[in-house]
Amino acid sequence: MKRFRSLILVMLASLGLILAGLTLHGADHWEAPLVDERPDYDLLDIFAFRNPGRPENLVLALDVNPASLPTLNASYFFNRDALYQFKIDTNFDGREDLVIQARFSGTGLAQTVTVKGPASPVITGARNVFLTSGPEVAGSTNQILGPSPEGIRVYAGLRDDPFVVDLAQVNRVLGRRAVHMADRPRDPIDSLEGLNASALIMEFPISLLGNVATTLGRRLVGVWATVSEPATDGLGGFVQIERAGQQVVSTVFVPGALRDAFNLAIPENDLRDFGHLIPDAIGGPDGGGIEALNARYDFLAGAGAFSTAPPLAPRGTNLNPIGRELIRVAVLPDMLRLDIDADPNDLAIGQFGFQNGRRLGDDVVDITFRIARQLFALTILSDPSQTPMPGTLGFDPCTLSNPRCNPNSDPRVNAVLLGTDFIKGDPDLVLGGNERPLGTESANDPEGLTRAQLIQLGFFDSTGFPFFATAHPIPGDRSFPPR
């Protein structure tokens, strides 16, 4: 992979590379050599959202152990030597102001977990030590722990993997075949259906964050997750080997040869060390200004690219003084950006990053499609009056006024502009709160139990915590009937 700028200059190439990452990895599953053979260190996804049923509380979640097979449920657990962390930046400088740390003991389904925080870290950056003070919740895995005196709940254990992608449909998009609703050859299939993951989930009052600075006109917190291993240099503590922030950032923007280096790095250095991987945006002195943006916007709008989500910069937007840095600062530093005052269900795509936090039911693949289109609309071209389009044997630029560039005339263009995998979230998720009624949509919940019984047995609390659906069962286990 070359610099992402060279990719984004050709729309099909950029989208093809983006979604090639999804077809191979799915979110951040199996995304870097250092963790490919260490599934209990492999961060799959990170989530941050306000609990719709208790909007004064923040929910954070991470998962590891990709593609956990129900027939081997007892063999998946958290690493006893690892330090799992949520890191929280309250003034948007890319450095953690608070941490939540978890360590495990035991193996299999009978592990115990100790979670500390949120609290100020002893050391910031890629080397950390386990907290010795602050809130603590401890107990057995695979059950809801708490609430603690501070109002903290914790769940750690095997649950349904919430990431959804129809790999076959994405490959159709990559192959630039017709993928409109009318041409859809079959219903979407979740390629991760029936697979589990080891999830660490916690909920706590937003007030425990303390003072949160106002950034971009909002009270934004940055959230990312890390997994660290014991240091071997004699200095003690733990050294980070894996991190995850905004969905598929490393998969999309970071070349494979740099993926381990990216995972070892820290957000506060992202712009310095990896900013060159992100393209310049229209609005700088060489970017063509509003006229170029409007031409690109009209082209994409005519193709229907903004029919399901607004663009990052609407027509007529004056991008200065952000200018050329607009895309770069939306991607880096690599951390989820969560407006702690916004509606819990507000995606806010493109306002201050990929989206506002991340919920389990977010349609990540289509969001990635949308952002790729929007980034393309903002990217500087060598000639701002031209838009690169696919030719028979490659990618040839042509002017927007050229009829051959009409997006409706080339199904390969439409495949990317309007491409989707038609999946709208995981039907197994038990969201609770103001979402679907608890338990009604989860096919792998214990058969015949009412909402009240599920709560009484500790599968969920009254708002749906821990939100991940129950783990898919071992085939033939009657208490968790197979599909």
Question: What pLDDT, in 10s, does the model give residues 335-363?
Answer: 999 999 998 888 877 777 778 999 888 87
Candidate from 6-15, 209-218, 343-352, 449-458 with smallest mean pLDDT: 6-15
365 and 244 Cβ atoms separated by less than 8 Å: no
124, 96: one domain: yes
Which helix (H) or strand (E) segment holds residue 87: the answer is strand 83-89
Which of 40, 89, 162 has the alpha carbon at shortest distance from 340?
A: 89
Residue 314 lies in a domain: yes
Query: Residue 139: what pLDDT?
Result: 98
Same-domain check for residues 255 and 329: no
Q: Are residues 392 and 340 in the same domain?
A: yes
How many other C-beta atoms lie within 10 A of the C-beta of residue 214?
10
Q: How far, CA to CA in Å, does 80 sit from each of 64, 271, 346, 348?
A: 13, 33, 37, 38
Tokens 């770069």 appear where?
328
For residues 238 and 285, state if they share a domain: no
**DSSP assignments along 296-349, one per residue:** HHHHHHHTTTTSSS--SS-TT---TTTGGGHHHHHH-S-SEEEETTS-TT---T
Instruction: For residues 68 and 204, give the distance between their C-alpha atoms in angstroms, rounded to a whole number.
Output: 28
DSSP per position, 167-188: HHHHHHHHTT---SGGG--S--
Residues 6+ apart with CB under 8 A from 85: 99, 100, 101, 102, 128, 225, 226, 227, 228
Pick from 440, 438, 344, 361: which is nearest to 54 by CA? 344
| Residue span of the structural domain in which 135 resides | 28-164+194-273+427-456
In a domain, 470, yes or no: no
Domain final residue, candidates 417, 444, 472: 417
Q: Is the pLDDT of residue 98 over 90?
A: yes
Task: Give me the chain's average pLDDT, please.
Answer: 75
Residue 401: pLDDT band with limits 50, 70, 90: very low
DSSP assignment letter at 70: G
d(CA 140, CA 185): 46
Cα separation, 305 vs 291, whole angstroms? 19
Last residue of a domain, one of 417, 448, 472: 417
In a domain, 148, yes or no: yes
The span from the CA of 428 to the CA of 445, in Å, is 9
Torsion of CA 437, 439, 443, 449, to 10 degrees: -140
If asked whether residues 62 and 111 sit together in one domain, one would say yes
**C-alpha span between 421 and 188 (Å, rounded):** 7
Q: Residue 472 domain-assigned? A: no
Rounded CA separation 260/255 (Å): 10
- Clarify whether residues 311 and 442 are in a common domain: no
* Residues 123, 269 within the same domain: yes
Structure tokens at 406: 């009409």
**In the prediction, which pLDDT does 114 show?**
98
Task: Please state the domain count of the chain.
Answer: 2
User: Could you tell me the pLDDT band of residue 216, with boundaries at 50, 70 and 90?
Assistant: confident
pLDDT category at 174 given cuts 50, 70, 90 is low
Residues 89 and 123 grouped into a single domain = yes
pLDDT (0 to 100) of residue 321: 53
Residue with tokens 């749906």: 464
Mean pLDDT lowest among 137-146, 233-242, 434-443: 434-443
Task: Tell me the per-residue pLDDT of 266-321, one tens digit each, with 9 for 90 and over.
Answer: 999 999 999 888 877 766 555 556 676 677 677 777 766 676 556 766 677 666 55
Which is higher by pLDDT, 25 or 334?
A: 334
Within 10 A of 276 (CB to CB), how many other CB atoms are there? 12
**Rounded mean pLDDT, 81-98:** 97
Whether residue 400 sits in one domain with residue 296: yes
| CA-derived radius of gyration, the chain | 22
155/145 Cα distance (integer angstroms): 6
Task: Read off the pLDDT of residues 422-466 as tens digits, 9 standing for 90 and up.
Answer: 676 665 554 333 333 333 334 455 555 666 777 777 778 888 899
CA distances from 366 to 306, 337, 353 (A): 12, 19, 16
Q: Does some domain include residue 240? A: yes
- Look at residue 82 in the predicted model and tell me its pLDDT: 97
CB 283 within 8 A of CB 323: yes
pLDDT 10s digits, 106-139: 998 889 999 999 999 999 999 999 999 999 999 9
Residue position matching structure tokens 């750690």: 156
Q: In what order do the strands lie in the sheet containing 54-68?
A: 45-51, 54-68, 196-205, 153-160
CB 433 within 8 A of CB 52: yes
Contact 60, 226 (CB under 8 A): no
- Cα first-last separation, the chain: 41
Q: Say if residue 59's pLDDT is above 70.
A: yes
Kindly state the DSSP code that residue 270 receives in the 8-state scheme.
Answer: H
pLDDT above 70 covers a percentage of the chain that reads 64
Helix (H, G, I), strand (E, B) or coil at 61: strand
Give the distance, in angstroms, between the CA of residue 152 and the centroid of all CA atoms in the same chain. Answer: 24
Residues 394 and 340 in one domain: yes
Question: Considering the domain boundaries, does residue 389 fall inside one?
Answer: yes
Token pair for 452: 């009240």
C-alpha–C-alpha distance, residues 318 and 330, integer Å:
16
Is pLDDT of 18 > 50?
A: no
**Which whole-number Å values give the CA distances from 218 to 24, 90, 213, 338, 351, in the listed order?**
36, 11, 8, 9, 11
192, amino acid identity: L
CA proximity to 397, closest of 411, 417, 413, 383: 383
204/298 same-domain check:
no
**The token pair that represents 275 in the structure block:** 């900013």
Report if residue 476 sits inside a domain.
no
The CA distance from 345 to 200, in Å, is 22
Q: Helix (H, G, I), strand (E, B), or coil: what is residue 276? A: helix
- 355 located within any domain: yes
Task: Answer yes or no: pTM beyond 0.85.
Answer: no
- Pair 154, 171 in one domain: no
